[in-house]
């Protein structure tokens, strides 16, 4: 209750701050101080509410729905702190907290630059107001009590000493699909407990905990960095609106450019930290899957980076006396960077993606769905409407002379190419909204030529001069770079065995950009080091692309059955499974593998365990990082060689496989149609399915197993094949997993591989030069921040 009240008061102060700032802009006296005080009060209240939520999590206050849903007694302090952003309510709180704190810095920044504060902070306070509404009692309030909305709690989470209370039986239910006993917590049970002198926090002994896929070190770092990037995208939007409010388009470019640089640097770093998290945790061996939610964060980054380049052109062209070229373009790009961040939030948190994304939250309800649309629509109408209103003033009549071989044209062309990529990804990402789906092939094929063009344009733009360049000068400057890039590219192509023409061109494009930027950076490194920012960022991107070529295009993978103490060879590595070791208080199992190549020996230990959170088999890969490549070992299954199992029940993740009775069974995908989701939400009969691929004796067969809910009863279908001597019964479908029971038709017990032997089945793959991906990201982010240091002093422009 206290947290809710604090947030409501903060909402009131945010609205007051917004109104007071606007009145100050319109010339009303004695309003600026009220606006400042109100904003600071709002920010302090948001910090107070956030601190309270952290306190509730650390002290296990399970009477709060959010605390129960995303924490439990077994979480370490680090994960308890990061469970703050483990769910929708907390992630909105994190976004609000970072936005509020950032606003204090922005307030100080703008107060030193003429009358900029009133205009910028009016818009910025509007953004904090919408975020505060989002975490209010009407929407995603993290301080909601657990009994407010009825919730089923596993009986294991209940204090057993209270299960004998006479009124408990009426709230006891059994989940027919899993056999679990559940207690329904609602207002009636809360009242009965209160009458008996029992607090809900005494009654609930443990929480549900975090999804096991979130139990990773990067959970503590990736979301705060990503949401800092989201928060910082608000600032260029506010500067753009501030320029439109005053109808002055000269100074805003210098004032907002450092913020856009910092925001895109942080957002890009946050996106790729998420990629490393996926690589390290999920076991499929990649870091980018063109998932709709991944894409939705990437799109505003592309648009923001395009804006950086066109803003440089506008700023340079102001030397003629006008407000510069591409004013409309820059205003639109800064506005749409933030709009697309909001769209990313809509995709992630509205539930519209359903089964299209592994990152998507469950549907939050129609009220929140429409509020998110209102959120986006409001800022879209304000931003685009203001440009339309000021359109006739946005033409700079100053004459600019520039040739085809000019840096202005090269930068603008590069921005257009980046926007084209953003549009392509936006179309594919939005396809699930219309009941369609886009394969990763679409993104790869459409973006490959774009990346080639970007690399070539990047190198070219740094070799041409502003306004115009003589052909003779360009040829003289470009020949050494082209020669060096060609030699290095040929070496990479020949040594790497590259035989696809588009990948050859991509390699040359990345190397050309790397050579040009490295050459310029080397020349100026002894001078003003703040000038290095752009070149270092470009070097990072070139290294990243080379890492992608090696790790994604030329990665190799194979499944290996490792019989205990027997050596198997894969990709020149000798691998020997030597047994397993219980870890984390016997809750997880590390499967130890000795790896040898030449005279070098290593020990890797992939992990498997059954999660208490969702009763699913979790697999954590082991990564052997070497100078030129990673050896990536993802566990698939383990057979202890015991013939005395009562049944063979296994849990499979998407794209994982198991062997049984000489058959390979692969879980291909879920089948969850939009119609089924609608029926489920309406309480009607519905069915969901799991597609399996069965391979045996050179034959392949696709099978769909169904989970049907009919009149509240759950039914599961089976697959029977006399030819394969195989029966597969669907046991359960849960988020990310399918549980099946395997048997043969003769009634004889079979094991998941060969009997009487301990066998660990792994997917082994090599990722050549994947370290370039991570090095490239770090170098790129460093370049952005050096560029910020260069542009900050230039931003001090006194506005009248």
The structural domains of the chain, with segments of one domain joined by +, span 151-203, 247-400, 558-642+760-768, 649-753
* Contact of 580 with 638, CB cutoff 8 Å: yes
> Mean pLDDT over all residues of the chain?
88
Which residue has 């990313």 as its token pair? 344
* Contact of 630 with 770, CB cutoff 8 Å: yes
Phi, psi of 582 (to 5 degrees): -70, 140
Distance CA 525, CA 523 (A): 6
The number of C-alpha atoms within 13 Å of 518 and in the hemisphere containing its C-beta is 16
**Joined tokens for residue 251:** 């100074």
Per-residue model confidence as pLDDT tens digits over 745-770:
765 444 444 445 788 999 999 999 99
The DSSP code sequence of 528-553 is -GGGGHHHHHHHHHHHHHHHHIIIII
Give 95 or 671, the one with higher predicted confidence. Answer: 95
Average pLDDT value for residue range 511-517:
96
pLDDT grade for 672, boundaries at 50, 70 and 90: low
Per-residue model confidence as pLDDT tens digits over 621-646:
999 999 999 999 999 888 877 644 44
Which of 464-473, 540-549, 688-697 ranks highest by mean pLDDT? 540-549
pLDDT at 365: 58
Average pLDDT value for residue range 544-551:
94
Distance CA 429, CA 437 (A): 8
Lowest mean pLDDT among 281-290, 458-467, 505-514: 281-290
Per-residue model confidence as pLDDT tens digits over 312-354:
999 988 877 788 889 999 999 999 999 999 998 888 776 666 5
pLDDT at 743: 82
Give 22 or 744, the one with higher predicted confidence. Answer: 22
Please give the sequence-ordered ranges of beta strands (E in DSSP) within 21-133, or none if there are none: none
Average pLDDT value for residue range 239-244:
96
* Contact of 719 with 700, CB cutoff 8 Å: no
Give 351 or 12, the one with higher predicted confidence. Answer: 12
Q: Is the pLDDT reported for residue 533 higher than 50?
A: yes
pLDDT grade for 617, boundaries at 50, 70 and 90: confident
pLDDT at 751: 42
Average pLDDT value for residue range 221-250:
95
* Contact of 628 with 607, CB cutoff 8 Å: no
pLDDT at 754: 40
Distance CA 93, CA 132 (A): 8
> Which residue in 574, 576, 570 sits closest to 556, CA to CA?
570
Give 354 or 691, the one with higher predicted confidence. Answer: 691
- Environment class of 345 (CB within 10 Å of its CB; exposed 0-12, middle 13-18, buried 19+): buried
CB atoms within 10 A of CB 264: 29
Distance CA 364, CA 381 (A): 25
Task: Compute the radius of gyration of the chain from its Cα atoms.
Answer: 29
Per-residue model confidence as pLDDT tens digits over 44-66:
999 999 999 999 999 999 999 99
Per-residue model confidence as pLDDT tens digits over 705-726:
888 877 666 788 888 888 888 8
User: 400-404: which pairs have CB atoms within 8 A and are 24 or more residues apart?
Assistant: 400/317, 400/320, 400/325, 401/467, 401/468, 402/466, 402/467, 402/468, 403/467, 403/468, 403/469
3-state secondary structure of 330: helix
> Which residue in 197, 226, 199 sits closest to 145, CA to CA?
199
Which of 474-478, 649-653, 741-745 ranks highest by mean pLDDT? 474-478
Q: Is the pLDDT reported for residue 734 higher than 90?
A: no
Q: Is the pLDDT reported for residue 221 higher than 80?
A: yes
Average pLDDT value for residue range 524-537:
87
Per-residue model confidence as pLDDT tens digits over 553-571:
888 889 899 999 999 999 9
pLDDT at 750: 45
CB atoms within 10 A of CB 540: 24
Lowest mean pLDDT among 2-11, 97-106, 410-419, 664-673: 664-673
Q: In this prediction, what percent of the chain has a pLDDT beyond 70?
A: 92
Q: In this prediction, what percent of the chain has a pLDDT beyond 90?
A: 57
**Joined tokens for residue 13:** 């102060």
Average pLDDT value for residue range 370-379:
89
3-state secondary structure of 350: coil
pLDDT at 753: 43
Q: Is the pLDDT reported for residue 131 higher than 80?
A: yes
Average pLDDT value for residue range 170-184:
79
Give 356 or 257, the one with higher predicted confidence. Answer: 257
């Amino acid at each position: 209750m206290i947290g809710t009240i604090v947030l409501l008061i903060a909402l009131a102060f945010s609205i007051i701050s917004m109104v007071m700032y606007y009145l100050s802009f319109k010339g009303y006296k004695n309003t600026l101080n009220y606006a400042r005080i109100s904003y600071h009060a709002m920010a302090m209240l948001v910090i107070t509410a956030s601190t309270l939520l952290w306190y509730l999590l650390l002290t296990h206050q399970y009477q709060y729905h959010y605390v129960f849903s995303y924490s439990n007694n077994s979480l370490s302090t680090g994960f308890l702190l990061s469970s703050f952003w483990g769910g929708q309510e907390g992630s909105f709180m994190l976004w609000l907290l970072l936005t509020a704190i950032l606003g204090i810095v922005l307030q100080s920044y703008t107060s030193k630059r003429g009358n900029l504060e009133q205009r910028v902070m009016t818009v910025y306070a509007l953004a904090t107001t919408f975020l505060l509404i989002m975490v209010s009692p009407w929407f995603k309030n993290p301080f909601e009590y657990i009994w407010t909305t009825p919730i089923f709690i596993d009986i294991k989470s209940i204090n057993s000493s209270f299960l004998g209370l006479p009124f408990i039986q009426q709230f006891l239910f059994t989940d027919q699909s899993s056999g679990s006993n559940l207690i329904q917590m609602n207002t009636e049970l809360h009242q009965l407990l209160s009458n008996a002198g029992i607090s809900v926090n005494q009654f609930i002994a443990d929480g549900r905990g975090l999804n096991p896929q979130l139990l990773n070190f990067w959970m503590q770092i990736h979301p705060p960095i990503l949401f800092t990037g989201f928060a910082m995208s608000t600032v260029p939007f506010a500067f753009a609106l501030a320029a439109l409010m005053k109808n002055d388009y000269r100074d805003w470019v210098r004032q907002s450019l450092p913020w856009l640089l910092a925001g895109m640097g942080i957002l890009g770093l946050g996106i790729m930290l998420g990629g490393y998290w996926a690589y390290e945790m999920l076991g499929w061996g990649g870091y980018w899957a063109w998932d709709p939610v991944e894409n939705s964060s990437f799109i505003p980054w592309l648009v923001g980076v395009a804006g950086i380049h066109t803003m440089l052109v506008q700023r340079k062209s102001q030397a003629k006396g006008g407000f510069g070229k591409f004013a409309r373009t820059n205003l639109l790009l800064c506005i749409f960077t933030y709009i697309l961040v909001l769209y990313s939030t809509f995709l992630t948190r509205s539930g519209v993606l359903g089964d299209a994304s592994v990152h998507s939250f469950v549907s939050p309800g129609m009220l929140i769905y429409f509020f998110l649309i209102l959120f986006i629509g409001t800022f879209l109408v304000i931003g685009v409407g203001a440009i339309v209103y000021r359109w006739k003033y946005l033409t700079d009549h100053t004459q600019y002379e520039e040739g085809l071989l000019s840096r202005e044209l090269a930068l603008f062309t590069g921005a257009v190419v980046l926007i084209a990529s953003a549009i392509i990804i936006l179309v594919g990402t939005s396809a699930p909204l219309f009941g369609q789906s886009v394969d990763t092939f679409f993104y790869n094929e459409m973006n490959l030529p774009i990346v080639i063009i970007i690399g070539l344009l990047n190198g070219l733009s740094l070799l041409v001069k502003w306004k115009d360049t003589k052909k003779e000068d360009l040829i003289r400057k470009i020949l050494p770079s082209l020669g060096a890039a060609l030699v290095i590219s040929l070496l990479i192509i020949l040594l790497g065995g590259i035989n696809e023409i588009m990948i050859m061109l991509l390699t040359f494009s990345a190397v050309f950009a790397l050579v040009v930027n490295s050459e310029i950076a080397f020349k100026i490194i002894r001078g003003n080091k703040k000038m290095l920012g752009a070149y270092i960022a470009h070097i990072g991107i070139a290294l990243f692309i080379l890492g992608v070529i090696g790790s994604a295009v030329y990665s190799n993978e194979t499944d290996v059955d490792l019989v205990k103490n027997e050596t198997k060879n894969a990709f020149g590595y000798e691998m020997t499974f030597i047994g397993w070791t219980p870890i984390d208080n016997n809750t997880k199992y590390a499967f130890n593998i000795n790896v040898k190549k030449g005279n070098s020996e290593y020990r890797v230990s992939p992990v498997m365990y059954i999660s208490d959170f969702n009763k699913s088999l979790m697999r954590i890969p082991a990564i052997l990082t070497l100078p030129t490549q990673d050896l990536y070992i993802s566990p698939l299954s383990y057979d202890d060689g015991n013939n005395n199992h009562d049944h063979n029940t296994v849990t499979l993740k998407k794209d994982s496989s198991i062997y049984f009775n000489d058959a390979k069974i692969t879980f291909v995908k879920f089948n969850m149609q939009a119609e089924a989701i609608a029926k489920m939400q309406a309480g009607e009969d519905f069915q969901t399915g799991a597609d399996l691929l069965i391979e045996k004796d050179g034959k392949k067969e696709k099978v769909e197993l169904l989970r049907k809910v009919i009149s509240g009863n759950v039914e599961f279908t089976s697959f029977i094949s006399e030819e394969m001597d195989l029966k597969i019964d669907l046991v359960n479908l849960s988020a990310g997993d399918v549980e099946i029971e395997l048997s043969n038709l003769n009634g004889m017990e079979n094991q998941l591989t060969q009997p009487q032997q301990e066998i660990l089945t792994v997917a082994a793959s090599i990722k050549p030069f994947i370290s370039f991906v991570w090095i490239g990201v770090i170098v790129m982010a460093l370049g952005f921040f050096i560029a910020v240091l260069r542009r900050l002093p230039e931003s001090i422009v006194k506005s009248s």
